[in-house]
Amino acid sequence: MSHCARVEGHCGRCEGELPFAFTMAFQPIVDIREARVTTFEALVRGPQGESAWSVLSQVTGDLLYRFDQACRVRAIELASRLGMRQNLSINFLPNAVYEPEACIQATLEVCRRVGWPTERLVFEFTETERVTDRRHLHRIIESYRSMGFTTALDDFGNGYANLDLLTDLKPDRLKVDRELVMGCDRDPRRQALIQAVKGLGDDLGLLLIGEGVETREEALWLARLGITRQQGYYFARPAVESLGGDLGPLLRELRDESEGVRQRRAAPAARG
Ligand SMILES: [Ca+2]
């Protein structure tokens, strides 16, 4: 891995080989209103498609920086090689970013090398429990925003993700966690919560994404509320080193149905 030009002298935190192999899977984020895939989220996997945990459990503290950098590089290289035309969403570990403007250099370098436009990169982040981390996270988000990247607050509605993060960190996008989405078509409590989050998102100018959509009913309920950006097994599971199958027929059908256009059609398209 190349040296980081923005750091005086020698940083070295992200240099060196990793003692284990890994690869990336890609899961689509769709827009039902537009009936298209807008983004692919890159998710870490073992070299033979093993779980994320099988890889993450090997990331010790001293490997954190280089692992985070290697994930970004691998995701961008693969997205380019697979001919991805959509946005690429990358999860980052706030604790793996030492100095935002310096640590982004390897990312920018691989973008230049493979010809990936930086405006098609989205960075997803989650909150951690410590206030000092919050300040650090704030600095990273501000820095990324100034560099023109899109940011998304991940897992909202689960764990540490608090309401004040929205105004404090000002992300561009908000990913509504599976915990809220699960069974939303038939649970009044979840519906009330999601409606409140939607109102908040609208007021703050955030684009909402429903995560963990697993059924057609959840997809349609969210779409009718106006949360037309969605991700989950209902559309596609993460595909290792692949962009998966064509979701066009399914998405057009959902668009028509959510907009009230009832058309007699055959069974839903096969999932990707
Ligand atoms: Ca994520």
Ligand 1 mean position to 211 CA, how many Å? Answer: 9
Length of the chain: 272
Ligand 1 mean position to 62 CA, how many Å? Answer: 23
Provide φ and ψ at 134, rounded to 5°.
-60, -45
Q: What is the CA radius of gyration of the chain?
A: 19
3-state class of 121 per DSSP?
strand
Neighbour tally for 238: CB within 10 Å: 21
In this model, does residue 226 exceed pLDDT 90? Answer: yes
Ligand 1 mean position to 156 CA, how many Å? Answer: 10
Ligand 1 mean position to 12 CA, how many Å? Answer: 27
List pLDDT tens digits, range 76-112: 999 999 999 999 999 987 777 777 777 788 889 999 9
pLDDT at 94: 76
In this model, does residue 262 exceed pLDDT 60? Answer: no
Ligand 1 mean position to 177 CA, how many Å? Answer: 10
Mean pLDDT of all residues belonging to the chain:
87
Tokens read off for 151: 């940011």
The beta strand positions in the chain, using DSSP E, are 23-31, 36-45, 87-91, 121-125, 150-156, 173-176, 207-210, 229-231, 239-240
pTM value? Answer: 0.89
- Do residues 108 and 143 lie in contact, with contact meaning Cβ atoms separated by under 8 Å? no
CATH topology of domain 23-252: TIM Barrel (3.20.20)
Provide φ and ψ at 266, rounded to 5°.
-70, 180
List pLDDT tens digits, range 8-30: 555 677 777 888 999 999 999 99
Ligand 1 mean position to 129 CA, how many Å? Answer: 17
Provide φ and ψ at 154, rounded to 5°.
-90, 160
